[in-house]
């Protein structure tokens, strides 16, 4: 790993690293916040944060205001990028924001030209955690959270890997990608037109088959411009109810899709994860 930057924050350190990813066949950058307790020799729980469309590792770390409470809770936070990057990595031919670079959707692509690089699921569930656990003082107590496309990513990573995570939460997740324009575009390009193959990347479909009833916390603003057309929290609620899966869905009056919303409730989410990870 090559260190890109290092900044002192609330007694701990926010650091960015660059490394060569074997899953994605390109160089990747990720960020990690190490609270003060990381310098005391103990292994700490880790929360993986997955960001949304167009984002990099920097959006959450700079805008969410998570470091102060993470320092108090003794929680390491890891924020990967949202897609592979580099000159050799294909992008949306039209340059659209909702596909290609910045829009990996946390799936393993099977169609060319995407399959060689767009394997974000393997990256965030296997390669990156192995790198983190080999180089930082983290325990095997893992949580996962995210926003929008990253909320979708957090949900499917937890649902597809029983026992791997002790906690999961999301802000404004793309809850039913098989049934929304963002998801249909991404899944058809990355996986092909056979919709039966999309089910393993859709939280609503996965809930029906989940063998682990890991509680899910979701916050959603009711003034979100993408609420009805793209996010579909009611579909997630219905799927969880049908499966008997514990879900807390909180509709927050007046809040939109922005980081103002995330910053307003990130403290509650970090406390939620810390309680589960330290239990």
Q: Just list the catalytic residues.
A: 148, 224, 257
The sheet carrying 76-80 orders its strands as 2-9, 12-21, 26-34, 76-80, 44-50, 138-147, 167-171, 216-221, 247-252
Q: Compute the radius of gyration of the chain from its Cα atoms.
A: 17
DSSP conformational letter for 84: -
Q: Could you identify the residue written with the tokens 């690089």?
A: 117
Rounded-to-integer distance, Cα 143 and Cα 154, Å: 9
Largest CA-CA distance found in the chain, in angstroms, rounded:
52
Rounded-to-integer distance, Cα 158 and Cα 154, Å: 6
Count how many Cα atoms sit within 13 Å of the Cα of residue 237 in the half-sphere of its side chain.
12
How would you class 13 by CB atoms within 10 Å of its CB: exposed for 0-12, middle for 13-18, buried for 19 or more?
middle
Strand, coil or helix: what is 58?
Answer: helix
Strand, coil or helix: what is 3?
Answer: strand
How many CB atoms sit inside 10 A of residue 72's CB? 17
Contact (CB, 8 A) for 114 and 189: yes
Residue 247's nearest CA partner among 278, 279, 210, 199 is: 210
């Amino acid at each position: 790993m090559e260190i890109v930057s290092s900044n002192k924050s609330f007694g701990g350190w926010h650091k960015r690293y660059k490394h060569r990813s074997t899953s994605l066949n390109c160089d990747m950058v990720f960020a990690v916040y190490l609270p003060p307790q990381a310098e005391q020799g103990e292994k700490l729980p880790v929360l993986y944060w997955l960001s949304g469309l167009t984002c990099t590792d920097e959006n959450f770390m700079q805008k969410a205001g998570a470091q102060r409470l993470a320092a108090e809770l003794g929680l390491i936070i890891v924020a990967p990028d949202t897609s592979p990057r580099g000159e050799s990595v294909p992008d949306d031919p039209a340059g659209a924001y909702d596909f290609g670079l910045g829009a990996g959707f946390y799936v393993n692509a099977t169609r060319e030209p995407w399959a060689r690089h767009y394997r974000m699921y393997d990256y965030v569930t296997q390669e990156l955690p192995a790198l983190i656990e080999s180089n930082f003082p983290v325990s095997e107590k893992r949580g996962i959270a995210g926003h929008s496309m990253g909320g979708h990513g957090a949900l499917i990573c937890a649902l597809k890997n029983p026992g791997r995570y002790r906690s999961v939460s999301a802000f404004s997740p793309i809850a039913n990608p098989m049934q929304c324009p963002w998801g249909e575009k991404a899944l058809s390009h990355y996986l092909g037109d056979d919709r039966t193959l999309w089910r393993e990347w859709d939280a609503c479909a996965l809930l029906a088959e989940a063998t682990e009833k890991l509680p899910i916390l979701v916050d959603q603003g009711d003034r979100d411009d993408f609420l009805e057309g793209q996010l579909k929290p009611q579909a997630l609620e219905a799927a969880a109810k049908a499966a008997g899966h514990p879900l807390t869905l909180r509709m927050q009056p007046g809040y939109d899709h922005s980081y103002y919303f995330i910053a307003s409730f990130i403290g509650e989410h970090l406390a939620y994860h810390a309680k589960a990870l330290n239990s």
